[in-house]
Structure 1
Amino acid sequence: MTRLERRLGTGDAVVIGLGSMIGAGVFAAFAPAARAAGTGLLLGLALAAVVAYCNATSSARLAARYPTSGGTYVYGRERLGAFWGYLAGWGFVVGKTASCAAMALTVASYVAPGAGRPAQSLIAAAAVLALTALNYRGVQRSVTVTKVIVTITLVVLAGSVLAMAVAGAPAAAPLTPAAPAGGVLQSAGLLFFAFAGYARIATLGEEVRDPARTIPRAVPIALGITLVVYAVVAVFLLRQLGPARLASTPDPIAAALAGTSWAALTPVVRAGAALAALGSLLALVLGVSRTTFAMARDGHLPAPLAAVHPRFAVPHRAEVTIGVVVAALVLVTDLRGAIGFSSFAVLTYYAIANASAWTLRKRRVVPAVGLAGCVVLAFSLPVASVISGVVVLAVGVVAWFVTSRHRTGR
């Protein structure tokens, strides 16, 4: 059995996108973005949203035409050639594996804020393995859990914003963006990490009912809701903490609430943040395993990873493999490095998505803007992230040529 069942509707697809985006951005990306641009992160957020919209539109058009698992791995292969599809798939798998590690480490930092690195790493690894076991039982169970997590997260964020609005003590720093262009671009690249969750909808194309209608509707809905939430939270965080404190605070929403007269609710916010990160991790593992499944089915990864469980109808071997790799990764990496590397790899993935959409010959402006935006933001990231991203992509290219010669020889 190598085909997945179409079980997901528009609401399910939107929830998966929200579960990937809300949580990743609100609880992980604002601090490094503020470090790069200060109050200019508001401009960075707008720029990241524009690039994300272009990417979402291109992905939705392509997903409607190619409604199978794999996302841009499939689109690049069909529109640009096998190599570009492979490179997109490689970028997605390695980039989103890093995202999984970032979300697992975020869970640990909120669950045990005073614990040292070894303890937090073990908590992160345990979270990854637990969610891998949940995904193994079937995608519909995962969607149900994600719905609960998204609802709780939105309630926690709404309560935090309300506390900052009516019970906070605003910082003296002005909100007028004032940052060099390079800092704004870097903040946009880092904040893009938070928007990339809508790809999960496209990578689940083979499990969505009526994908030609469902995917183009679900992507902009999920992206629009997320942008509104991010913008509101960003403004109130800057208002409450100021850009300098925001940049240096690992848990900004909890810190902002602690500075209000509603500080007693801070433990609730910490619990909500950990739950939101779990929701992101759940959807991330879901998406990476599907792309791994598609690449294995096409012979670019080991064939056993293309197996589908006869009872639960999920790519169980791909899921277990990704879970084990991420659990190992959280033991050797940190949150900041994971976000930067993930952004570079995923921007590469979306650059290929936009190039693929450009070949459709109609409405070319959006994919052209998206392609240019992805390239600019990718190379505006911190130097260490760019270097590590280029090296890992180069390893993927070498692997492609080695396996290509092997396939030709056979």
Structure 2
Amino acid sequence: MKSESKSQHVGKVTHHELKQTLGTWQLWGIAVGLVISGEYFGWSYGWASAGTLGFVFTALFIAAMYTTFIFSFTELTTSIPQAGGPFAYARRAFGPTGGYIAGAATLVEFVFAPPAIALAIGAYLHVQFPGLEPKHAAMGAYLVFMALNIVGVQIAAAFELFVTVLAIFELLVFMGVVSPGFQWANFTKGGWAGADTFTMGSFHGMFAAIPFAIWFFLAIEGVAMAAEEAKNPKRSIPIAYVTGILTLVALAIGVMVFAGAAGDWTKLSNINDPLPQAMKYIVGEHSGWMHMLVWLGLFGLIASFHGIILGYSRQIFALARAGYLPEWLSKVHPRFKTPHRAILAGGVIGIAAIYSDELIQFAGQTLTANIVTMSVFGAIVMYIISMLALFKLRRSEPDMERPFRAPLFPFFPAFALVAAVISLAAMVYFNLLVAFIFAIFLVLGYVYFLLTRHQREVAPADALLEE
């Protein structure tokens, strides 16, 4: 009976397969591209609560968390190279309920990040075309890049690598152009949450700024969701992850310091286009450098937007294939071999978020800030359960093949775990209403999870999880 069921499942798998086409450079492009929009906007909201100097300490703490997390997470990604990523690791470690928690959290992270980036794309275009409504431009971005992702992962990954390289070049250009006006006094003035000297109140602002420091690096773990489409995941993914996080840490520090030292940083702390506004201090509003930055800046936003669409679609696909979401979402396009229904489903939610100002703009925060915070809640919960899964699998499956082992185990994953727990606690304290809404999402999802057990019983077998 069991073999019969297995054979039925195997027959279904052919309708749910992804093509293995991605090389190491393409995976590096995805790793950096997923995140690089975080260098262009979002992080400066952290200045509003922590100040420049306070935010430096917050950002360094979060950078350490991400570096240790990625070195640890890579062990899971290479051991279980499955499109579900964190969902697959938690399910193997903790069973269906653990898989649900990780999958739902990752889904929130990857579905809510794109609308924030799309709004920033709209803001950048609005600088060039004042008559263009940013929200309409954001919706247009969704339509264009959903279509590109549907056409094929090879084309999508090649485009991702191209725009990522251009985005890195543009950030280096930004730092070079503003460097003649670099004044450390600009960066340090009022740098401790508006004060010139450190006080105990500075800690309050530093903890409140955690979500925006996380935005610097959010979604790099999305490479795991392209694992099934990698040619040699056990070799290429570690290289992509390690070089990717090092690239991003260097760029984050450089962009933040050069932007803050260009002029009055307080005027950059609550906007979606801090880099063009910082450059205005140096070259003026009508400089050719200014227009170049706006256009090239779009490449950074597009790289992340495009890459995260790839990420959320694979997460929806994997959850649907395993019976955690409706099975029709796991269908692969017969010609392009991409999860087209999953791409469209995430896009519908993202576009709805863009046009939900009255629902999402609350607690004195902008629409973008609240969407960013919601996405970060999903990420942090996923980081916690992923590190717990790493420890669990080390104990329960010591003989599992691990092409890449977390260095300095258990210290690296333990630091990443503790830092993530501290971050989650701080975020709940400072964003109670967003935390409540996030919890409602998880509870409603869990009710659906309990009511759809039959879906998981008849879902296609996952050979990568049944070794």
TM-score, with normalisation over the residues of structure 2?
0.82
Q: Deviations over 1:323-355 (max 9, x none)?
A: 222222211142111101111111111111111
Residue pair 1:344, 1:386 contacting (<8 A) in 2 also: yes
Gaps of 5+ in 1: none
Runs (4+) of structure 1 moved beyond 3 Å? 113-118, 167-173, 175-179, 404-408
> Which residue does 2:283 correspond to in 1?
261
Counterpart selection for 2:300 from 276, 281, 292: 276
Is residue 59 of structure 2 the alignment partner of residue 35 of structure 1? no
How far 1:262 sits from its partner (Å)?
6.3
> Which residue does 2:346 correspond to in 1?
322
How far 1:172 sits from its partner (Å)?
3.8
Residue pair 1:36, 1:186 contacting (<8 A) in 2 also: yes
Counterpart selection for 1:223 from 229, 237, 245: 245
> Which residue does 1:336 correspond to in 2?
369
> Which residue does 2:3 correspond to in 1?
none
Relative distance call for 1:370 and 1:170 in structure 2 (3 A) is closer
Aligned equivalents of 1:338, 1:307: Cα separation in 2: 29
Q: Deviations over 1:134-172 (max 9, x none)?
A: 000001111121122112212221111112112456654
Q: SS of the residue aligned with 1:69?
A: coil
Gaps of 5+ in 2: 1-14, 193-197, 358-366, 396-405, 458-467
Deviates more, 1:309-318 or 1:115-124: 115-124
Relative distance call for 1:74 and 1:231 in structure 2 (3 A) is same
Counterpart selection for 2:386 from 348, 353, 359: 353
Relative distance call for 1:406 and 1:6 in structure 2 (3 A) is closer
Aligned equivalents of 1:309, 1:405: Cα separation in 2: 25
Structure showing greater Rg: 2
Counterpart selection for 2:316 from 279, 282, 292: 292
Residue pair 1:167, 1:262 contacting (<8 A) in 2 also: no
Aligned equivalents of 1:386, 1:188: Cα separation in 2: 14
Aligned equivalents of 1:226, 1:9: Cα separation in 2: 20
Residue pair 2:120, 2:301 contacting (<8 A) in 1 also: yes
The size of the alignment, in residue pairs, is 409
Aligned equivalents of 2:99, 2:131: Cα separation in 1: 37
> Which residue does 1:60 correspond to in 2?
74
TM-score, with normalisation over the residues of structure 1?
0.93
How far 1:211 sits from its partner (Å)?
1.1
Aligned equivalents of 2:215, 2:182: Cα separation in 1: 29
- Identity score, percent: 24
Q: Deviations over 1:175-217 (max 9, x none)?
A: 7764622322332332212312321211111001221111122
Aligned equivalents of 1:115, 1:389: Cα separation in 2: 35
Residue pair 2:309, 2:343 contacting (<8 A) in 1 also: yes
Aligned equivalents of 1:163, 1:118: Cα separation in 2: 28
Counterpart selection for 1:311 from 335, 347, 356: 335
How far 1:278 sits from its partner (Å)?
1.4
Partner amino acid, structure 2, of 1:400: F
Partner amino acid, structure 1, of 2:221: A
Counterpart selection for 1:106 from 120, 125, 134: 120
Q: Deviations over 1:16-45 (max 9, x none)?
A: 01111111x112222211112102111111
How far 1:405 sits from its partner (Å)?
8.0
